[in-house]
Structure formats: structure tokens, C-alpha cells
Amino acid sequence: MLLPAAAAPARQRGRALQSALRDAVRSGRLAAGTRLPSSRELAADLGVSRGLVTEAYEQLTAEGYLRSDRGSGTWVGEAVRAGESAARDLAPRASGALVDFRPGTPDLSLFPRAAWAAAHRSVLARLPHHALGYPDPRGLPELRTALASLLTRRRGVVADPECLVVCSGVAQAMTLLGFVLRGRGLRTIGVEDPGSPEHGPLLSAAGLSMTPLPLDRDGLAMEPLRRSGAAAVATTPAHQFPTGIAYSAQRRAELLDWARAVDGLIVEDDYDGDFRYDRAPVGALQGLDPERVAYSGSVSKSLAPGLRLGWLLVPRRMRDEVVERKRTMDLGNPALDQALLADFIDRGGYDRQLRRCQRAYRERRDALVHALAAHLPGTEVSGIAAGLHIIARLPGRYGPEERLLARAARAGVALRPLSAHTAVPPAREPGEPGVRLVLGYAHLTPSDIMRGIRLLARETAD
């Protein structure tokens, strides 16, 4: 195992020998307590100078890998524990299914690689040296300005760049707000039920406990919210995740009245608010009262979740605490990524990207609705024409849920039932129960969608 090191060019041979010996001990190939050959023997075996071996033994003895007793020999030390040899990948990925309808991912092949590379070149060419120092924890001023005007124009928010914090996705916005609310003495926060799988773990990591709150057809149901005693609530008003409803105008007004009455806070997660296929997107709730709503969004659905770039607009009264929290969490997001996004927005790249995705996703949603009607007749699709997923309610004959999921898995189709997003099971509906699925379509081509629904139909036909 040391022969390749002995064959290294003369100037690198000593280092290569030390490194090969170290690796052999670390990996356990040389077990603790093993006696090594004398430096004279090993040098002769490897065809290297004895001095090189002596030096390697001395260096590794000083580091603790080897132990030597003067005159009696050199042994592998006991202190070394073999570590993991390779980084494991814990990213949530497709299950290996032929067609994976689980929601949440955009089409990553639509990422604008060429425009992003061009932005990279232009930004690196003109960025002054000082811009590579520690950034303002709120984010680069040019990105906050670009985002403020983008969000005002596209989402109807009231965006003061001074109250805008660039962060690592909606996820970090939730964590930041969670810590600040907990620091202000809040113990519980209301969450939608069914709701986002992300909100609960993120907010509880900040020390808050969750109160699941039911929905009605207009949005979060007001009576349970009032009775809960919560003074903050996390919501997805533009396109409720996962049910796909949009909060009605009346419910938005009621929610704001509630927040004013309890001196509370509404957290608005606008995770996919850009994509609406039947009309212009409804503006964000925050635009109606920026002092009662903390608004958050990200590039995760429009560009790629792997960029981990998002934003949080906070009420002025919470701003300093949120910024301080962001500072102590990570001293701010990477400056280069922020400069890139600012450049991309300023040159119109972001608007172009949204138009491109909008066209593709509308076509895919239509393909899914048609495939369901053609191959799983009687299926009802609910939720507004928006975002990256639909809710499909399959007739009772396809159920019960466990059987359908097992059959789908057999056919190579990955599905997510609505029940996976529910904390409190809903009261049984009258008549046949049916099976409700949250079907993601944005990441699938129309032919994948058709294939997946056909496979499902074939496996469930009896």
C-alpha cells in the first residue's frame, strides 16, 4: 500500500509516504498495535532512502498515529478512530420511481444556466474588492433595492428596502421570525392544518410549539384561531399549501382585524405566489398592512431551491431584532450570490424566467388535469390554477388510501396523500371517502405526466 508513494517524484516522495501511512492507519488497514518494520527494512522494501522512512515515522509519531519505543520498534497507535471515508448525501431525492408526483420541486432543467453564467462574469468583472468583505447582514444594498422593486411590482407588497432581509430561503425566514417571537415571550404559534411540512420543524427548532388550526373554504377558519389564544400564525394565503385554495378577500380582512385586535403577527409564506394560470396573481396580504404581516418568499420555485436564496420583509417594530438574529446566525448570505441575483433581476432575467416557467407549468397542469379525466374518471381536481401542484380526489373505488399507495408503488409511481400533511384527521365526509392526493406536476414533462397516470390507472383497474 506504500508502493505508489515510493514511486512519487523525488521531491514529493517524503510527503506522499507520510500521507499514505496516515491513510492506512486512519482507514484501519494498519490496525492499532501492529508492529511496523524497522526503518532500514521498509526503506529497502520500498527502494527509498532510510532517512525518508525515519522522517515519516517521526512525523506520524508526533501526530499520534504511531508510537515508538526507543530501540524496540514502532507500532500503530491506539488513539486513531476510523472516520467516514466519504460524505453522505442526505438530500431529499426522487425515490427511484418511474414517475414521481410528489410536490415541491420546480423543473430544474429550466434553470437559466447561460444567463446565470453571464451574470457571473459581469459581476466578477465589476465588483469592487470591498464588496467581497463581510456583507450587511440584511443583504447587499443593490439586491435589497432590486428585490423591493420586484416584489412591489409583482406581488403588491409594501417593500421598504430597509426592512428587507435577504436570507437562505423561506426556511431561514421562518427560523429568524421564530427566534424573535420566542425572544419576545411567545410560546406557541398557529399553523395551517393541513399545512406545510416545513413550517412545524422550523418554528419548533426556534423553541415555539405549534397549534394546528383548521381551514374552511375561505382560508384559515377564524373561530378556532380566535379560541386558540395564539398571537402569531403562519399562513400561505396566495395558494394555501397543500389544499391549493386562495384566501378570500373577506378572510384576508378578518385575519388582519384579528392581528390588530390581539396585537399579533401574521407570517405570510409566499412560496409559489408568482405562478397563477387563470388570471393575474392576487397580491400579497402584506400589502394591506405591512405592520401586521411579515412576508417571505424565495427563488426556490422560480429558479432553484439549491440556491438557498430568499427574502423576508418585516414590520418596522421587529426589524432590529430580526437583523440582529440574522447577524448572529451567519453574518449574512454569501455576497457573490446576492450580487448575481441583483444583476439577474436588474437585467430582466428574473421576469423572463418567470414567463418561461409560467408557460411550461400551465401546460403541465393542463396535461395532468386531462390525464386524470381520461384515465381515472370521476377524479375531482380542486384548488386554484396556480403553483406547482394540484389536489386530486379519486373516487372511493380507488381506495382505501394504503391500498392505492401500495398499488402505485408497485406500478413505479410515487404519490403523496393529503393526509401526510394533516396533523388532526378531518371528520369523515358523508358518502364514499375517496382518496385525496397532492400531485406535483411542474418537474414532470407532459409525457411523463401522461405515463404516470396511465401506469396508475392500469395498476388500479379491477
* Sole binder of ligand PLP in the list 39, 211, 235, 236 (CB under 6 A): 236
Q: Which is nearer to ligand PLP, 135 or 169 (CB)?
A: 169
Distance CA 120, CA 340 (A): 6
Closest CB 219 distance from ligand PLP, rounded Å = 15
Q: Which is nearer to ligand PLP, 298 or 460 (CB)?
A: 298
* 248-307: contacts with ligand PLP (CB under 6 A): 269, 271, 298, 300, 305
* Sole binder of ligand PLP in the list 21, 171, 232, 376 (CB under 6 A): 171
x-or-dash string of contact with ligand PLP, 100-139, rule CB under 6 A: ----x-----------------------------------
Instruction: Compute how many residues bind ligand PLP; rule: CB under 6 A.
Output: 14
Q: Which stretch binds ligand PLP (CB under 6 A): 28-36, 156-164, 166-174, 221-229?
A: 166-174
Q: Which is nearer to ligand PLP, 298 or 338 (CB)?
A: 298
Pairing of strands 293-298, 99-100: unpaired
Distance CA 161, CA 89 (A): 37
Question: Nearest residue to ligand PLP, using CB?
Answer: 169
Q: Which is nearer to ligand PLP, 167 or 411 (CB)?
A: 167
* Sole binder of ligand PLP in the list 116, 241, 275, 361 (CB under 6 A): 241
x-or-dash string of contact with ligand PLP, 46-85, rule CB under 6 A: ----------------------------------------
Closest CB 298 distance from ligand PLP, rounded Å = 3
Closest CB 311 distance from ligand PLP, rounded Å = 9
Closest CB 126 distance from ligand PLP, rounded Å = 29
DSSP 280: S
Q: Which is nearer to ligand PLP, 119 or 173 (CB)?
A: 173
**74 close to 410: Cβ distance less than 8 angstroms:** no
Q: Which is nearer to ligand PLP, 199 or 393 (CB)?
A: 199
**381 close to 391: Cβ distance less than 8 angstroms:** yes
Distance of CA 80 to the CA centre of its chain: 36
**255 close to 235: Cβ distance less than 8 angstroms:** yes
Exposure of 81 by Cβ count < 10 A (0-12 exposed, 13-18 middle, 19+ buried)? exposed
Q: Does 169 bind ligand PLP (CB under 6 A)?
A: yes
Strands of 112-241 (E only): list them. Answer: 164-167, 188-193, 209-216, 219-220, 232-235
Q: Which is nearer to ligand PLP, 56 or 255 (CB)?
A: 255
Cell reading at 450: 401522461
Pairing of strands 413-414, 99-100: parallel
**CA distances (Å), 315 to each of 161, 294, 312, in order?**
12, 6, 10
x-or-dash string of contact with ligand PLP, 304-323, rule CB under 6 A: -x----x-------------
Closest CB 269 distance from ligand PLP, rounded Å = 5
Q: Does 235 bind ligand PLP (CB under 6 A)?
A: no
x-or-dash string of contact with ligand PLP, 183-222, rule CB under 6 A: -------------x-x------------------------
Cell reading at 117: 453564467
Q: Which is nearer to ligand PLP, 271 or 344 (CB)?
A: 271
Nearest by Cα to 370 from 267, 320, 441: 441
* 358-397: contacts with ligand PLP (CB under 6 A): none
Q: What single-letter amino acid sits at 414?
A: A
| DSSP letter for each residue of 89-148 | -------S-SEE--SS---GGGS-HHHHHHHHHHHHHH--GGGGSPPPTT--HHHHHHHH
**CA distances (Å), 133 to each of 168, 328, 333, 339, in order?**
19, 17, 12, 13
Q: Which stretch binds ligand PLP (CB under 6 A): 124-132, 169-177, 210-218, 403-411?
A: 169-177
Cell reading at 210: 405549534
**364 close to 443: Cβ distance less than 8 angstroms:** no
Binding residues vs ligand PLP (CB under 6 A):
104, 169-171, 196, 198, 236, 241, 269, 271, 298, 300, 305, 310
